[in-house]
Amino acid sequence: MAQAYVIIHCETGMEEWVIRNLKKIEGVKEVVGVLSLYDIVVKIEEKDQSMLEKIITKQIRKVEHIHTTMTLMVIEEQEK
């Protein structure tokens, strides 16, 4: 199982709207708002890394009001 965390900076005041829309995306397992330079952290799980990449590039980054993202890919070998 491939996993990634996406850290998101979004438009001020639109955090709840973005969170609601991110939760609708298949493969998204958890979405939380945070207090930092970034606003939202998303946990994604899929069967392989290519599927994760598609979710991130074709869906998450297309959500309105998102300014920037940073993706942290989990190293599968270190999970075991």
pLDDT tens for 17-76 read 999 999 999 999 999 999 999 999 999 999 999 999 999 999 999 999 999 999 999 998
Q: Sorting pLDDT into bands at 50, 70 and 90, what band is 80?
A: low
Which residues, 6+ apart, have CB-to-CB distance to 19 below 8 Å? 31, 32, 33, 40
d(CA 60, CA 80): 28
Type of residue numbered 66 = I
pTM surpassing 0.85?
Answer: yes
pLDDT number for residue 74: 95
Q: Which CATH number fits domain 2-36+47-79: 3.40.50.300, 3.40.50.2000, 3.30.70.920, 2.30.30.50?
A: 3.30.70.920
Question: Does residue 77 register a pLDDT over 80?
Answer: no
- pLDDT at residue number 79: 62
Q: Are strands 28-33 and 40-46 parallel, antiparallel or unpaired?
A: antiparallel
